[in-house]
């Protein structure tokens, strides 16, 4: 029993979505560390910045991937225009009565 092409495409879509998500978290973490570095240097202090960057990246990743979190919703669209929620809250149903 093999994987169908549609399931493979969906897997690729989700993997690309997670890659984009972690790239975004990495960039945001790096920007935050730069701001913290500027503040610390202005006060004449130095810290292990690589450890701080790793901690911020890891903390944010856990926060975003926590089940049921409403902090951040990341959605990607497939080739047919259908939206897939990678992490976060599902969008409310539009046709509910």
Structural domain boundaries of the chain? 5-87
Confidence of residue 97 (pLDDT cuts 50, 70, 90): very low
Instruction: Tell me the whole-structure pTM to 2 decimals.
Output: 0.82
User: Tens digit of pLDDT for each residue in 45-88?
Assistant: 999 999 999 999 999 999 988 887 877 888 888 888 888 888 88
pLDDT at residue 75, as a whole number: 87
Q: Which residues of 17-32 are buried (b: 16+ CB within 10 A; e: fewer)?
A: beeebeeebeeebeee
Is the separation of the CB atoms in 53 and 37 below 8 Å?
A: no
């Amino acid at each position: 029993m093999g994987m169908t092409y549609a399931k493979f495409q969906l897997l690729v879509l989700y993997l690309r979505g997670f890659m984009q998500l972690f790239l975004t978290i990495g960039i945001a973490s790096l920007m935050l560390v730069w701001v913290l570095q500027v503040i610390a240097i202005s006060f004449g202090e130095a810290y292990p910045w690589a450890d701080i960057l790793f901690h911020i990246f890891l903390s944010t990743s856990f926060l975003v991937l926590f089940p049921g979190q409403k902090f951040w919703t990341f959605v990607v669209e497939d080739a047919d225009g259908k939206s897939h929620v990678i992490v976060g809250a599902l969008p409310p149903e539009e046709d509910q009565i």
